[in-house]
Chain A
């Protein structure tokens, strides 16, 4: 198997409405940026993998996984991976409610209600406070203010403002939730020597893991607490990458956190802290920009969410930290970076990138 690396990344400006571009033009904006970043032209690309919200594929990372596999096996030398979403031209919440027409469509609660149900279990068992969740929201929007692509940028957001924002579904406030954005992201991955030619610091793919679970949401017990897909995927990826202690061994993480409480739950599922310690981890500022393991320097999904691109954005942001091209959101001297994808508790993707093959 050949070593493969992310050699270029590109993103659009993400916003609630991008009326200035059509969906293909949105993709064009991200792809041009990624190719320029990789010092490539379209003629240099052997294959394109593109996904969006429709089948949830751009949200997760299987397309990157497949792309990495094609590269590693020698089928292709360079692959362009694109995710996009233009929510202002769709009906995301209605789409999310189009579940099994015989079972739960008539009693669907939409994305926010669904998260809130899981959060009630998480809060009940872990005892995290609304303030601890709000701190995640503040961190995300403050980090986003350093990211020129981010949709919601609020350097001065306070915990009090988060708690004063209207309740969407108890206990989730408006500012506990991700937005819906228009945007696209693209990454260029390349094999071996080609990767080295196109980037002085390629972000080598050290590990990838994808896990899926049963399809009905009621099949998944205590989903936010247990999240077996993410726990299993992380364990496999850490084994592949030789990571014993993720908090120590990782330099930065870009995790797919659809709401503040999910970020806390993922800290536990990803082994950043023992179960029950996530509230304390956020209180200790460990995951802030200046902390031991900065989580989501980009501002995360909480700040930017073109759903079909949100998974690819995580990989792009993790990669550019290794490339050293993070600008104002650059974490110093990143050698090992984590990116995750997530979907409705039933599946999870974990990828580890490193500065050496």
Chain B
């Protein structure tokens, strides 16, 4: 008897938890992916088996999936999620990411210092660039009433061409008609696979920095006055202002922090994986995919972490896949769509409960 009550409570709790819906969404995403695979003439069970087989095949692949491919998504996802909490849609993470990578590349290549100074210096430069790039949008919004989404879309492109401009400057360009920058100095590299040969070649300790960021952002949102203010502004700007919170200041702070997170992703990618900045042919999409990750994670920092690991692993699996790798995009799109739709399900279940309670 007691047992059945516990089970009932457990089921109720499950019904209320966002995690359940995310899980269901992921399953539906894979089912749609399976249909797409069937249409293309692949055996979905075999293909999925291969996909997960690749991800977990060796420590090297696990390191690829969960470190190399995931770290930038953790940070851009956090960036978007954090801005969401303040009611700002940070579609500008893409540009902030690019500015961070350019700043880290410049300091990494042209400053000479021992590693214990050089690495922090690169990171600080990137953070400054990101805070500036994010904060500038906040400033335009506050001072001129400019629409932040519009500004961010513009800023993404300005950052994109700015990066291409820098990469092609004499002295920065590696020369010989190549379309990438000079490499950063060895003292600025953060790769750890030299010490841990089992890992993928470009595993880097940026993963620890990303994990620290997850905890710090969680702490800021849930345990500090700043986080409280930001959330209050996000929920109801007028009410927050009435309560004496400086809404403009909050937006500026949130966008700066958000910008720093995205730019950190760019910096770590340069310092740990690419060692240089290449001329873009199209936007790389780390920032835009950060939006997806933030949504899969339900804008909760730890959710974002899981979402990013999942996303990164799928991306890596997709590159070693016999079916077209775009299947990953289709699956991800379905998952996000289902997460969006699931709010209806949740509403139906909760209203059902209320009705029962009333009678």
Partners in one complex: no
